[in-house]
Amino acid sequence: MSRVRGRRVWQGLRYAFCAVMLILILLPLAWTVFLSLRNNVDLMRQAPLSLFGPYTLGNYGELLKNRTLFRWFFNSMVVSGFSVAGVLALSSLAGYAFGRLHFPFCNWLYAFVLMGLAIPDQSVILTRHHIFSTLHWHNTYLALILPGLSAPLGVFLMTETFRAIPKGMEDAARLDRASPFMIFWKVLLPQTVPAQASLGIYTFLLSWNDYWWPLISATRPDMFTLTEGMAAAQTNYAEVTGMGVLMAEAVLAGLPVLIIYIAFQKHIVSAITGMVKL
C-alpha cells in the first residue's frame, strides 16, 4: 500500500510545483495591470500602495490621446504584415523547389540554405547596416521588412511540408501538361495551408517583437515600431508621461500578441515543434 501513498506524495508535489510556478509567472503580469490602474500621484508618492484603490482608467484615457503610440502601432502592423506575406511567398516557392523539384546542385543549395540557421542576426549587423546606409534606405518600411525575409527557417519548414505531400499528387496535372508553376499553385499549395498558418503566425510574432534591427535601422521616432517605441517610452517616461501611463502602454503593447497567441496557440506550437526535426 506504500506505493499508493508514494503516488499521492508525488501527486501533491506536482500540484505544489505547478501552483508555485503559476504564481511566479502571473504575479509580475498582475502587478503591471495593477499599476496601470492607479493614478500617477499615488504612484509617485513612494508610500506602499493599498490594494483597495483608488483605481482609475485615466492612464488608458491618456493613451488614446497619444498620436505617436498609434503611429508606432501602425508601423508595426505594416512591417509585420508585409514580413508575413514576404516570408510565406519566398518560403513556399523555395520549399516547392527544394522539396518537390530537381535542378542541378539542388541538394548543395539546400544545404547552403540550412547553414544560414546558425548565423545570428547580431553577427552580421555591421555590414547589414552598411548595405542599407549606402542605399539610403534606413528609416523606411522596406529596410524594416527585408532582413526578416533572409532567415532560412521558413524555407526549411516549407521544404519539409512540400516533401511530406504524398508522391503522385501532381501526376495527373503533369499529364495535362500543366506548367511547374500551375502545379505549385493549383495542386500543391492548397495542401500546405496549415503549415502556412503556423509559419505565418510565428513570423508575425517574431517580426512584431523584434527589437534589435528596428533599434539600429529606424532612428526617427515616426518610423519606430511599437516594440522599439516601448524602449524609448521606458527610458524617458518620468519627464514625459508618468509611470501609470507607461504601465498602461505596456499592457496595450502586450495585448495584441497575447490575443494572437490565445487565438492561434495550436499553430504556434506546431511551428515550434516543426523546428526540432532538424
Partner 1 sequence: MAVSSRNEATRGWGNLLFALPFLSVYVWLLVYPLLAGIRLSLYRANLFGGEHFIAFENYVRLFHDRTFLQALGNSLMFVGLTVPVLVLLALMLALSLNRATRFAAFMRSVVFASSVLSVTVLTIIWRQVLVPDGGLLSHAAHLLNLNPVPFLSDQRFVLPSLAVITVWWSLGLPMILFLSALQQVPRSVYEAAALDRATPWSVFRRITLPAVMPAVILVAAYECALQFQVFGQPQLLTQGGPNGASRPLVLYIYETGFNHWDIGYAAAASQMLFALILIVLLVPHVGRWMAGRWLIGRRA
Q: Which of the residues 83 through 142 are near partner 1 (CB under 8 A)?
A: 89-91, 93-94, 96-98, 101-104, 106, 109, 113, 116, 118-131
> Smaller CB distance to partner 1: residue 64 or 258?
258
Q: What are all long-range contacts of 215-220, with beta carbons under 8 Å and residues at least 24 apart? A: 216/125, 216/129, 217/129, 217/132, 217/138, 217/139, 217/143, 217/144, 218/138, 218/139, 218/143, 218/144, 219/138, 219/139, 220/139
CB 188 within 8 A of CB 40: no
Candidate ranges 61-69, 77-85, 185-193, 240-248; the one touching partner 1 (CB under 8 A): 240-248
C-alpha grid cell, residue 102:
530537381
Minimum Å gap between C-beta 273 and partner 1 is: 4
Alpha-carbon span 80 to 148, nearest angstrom = 10
- Side chain identity, residue 186: K
Q: Is 172 among the residues that bind partner 1 (CB under 8 A)? A: no
Q: Tell whether residue 177 is a contact of partner 1 (CB under 8 A).
A: yes
Stretch that binds partner 1, among 56-64, 77-85, 187-195, 254-262 (CB under 8 A): 254-262
Please pick, from the candidates 63, 149, 182, 189, the single residue that binds partner 1 as defined by CB under 8 A: 149
* Nearest-approach distance from CB 140 to partner 1, in angstroms: 15
In the complex, least distance from residue 85 CB atom to partner 1, rounded to whole angstroms:
13
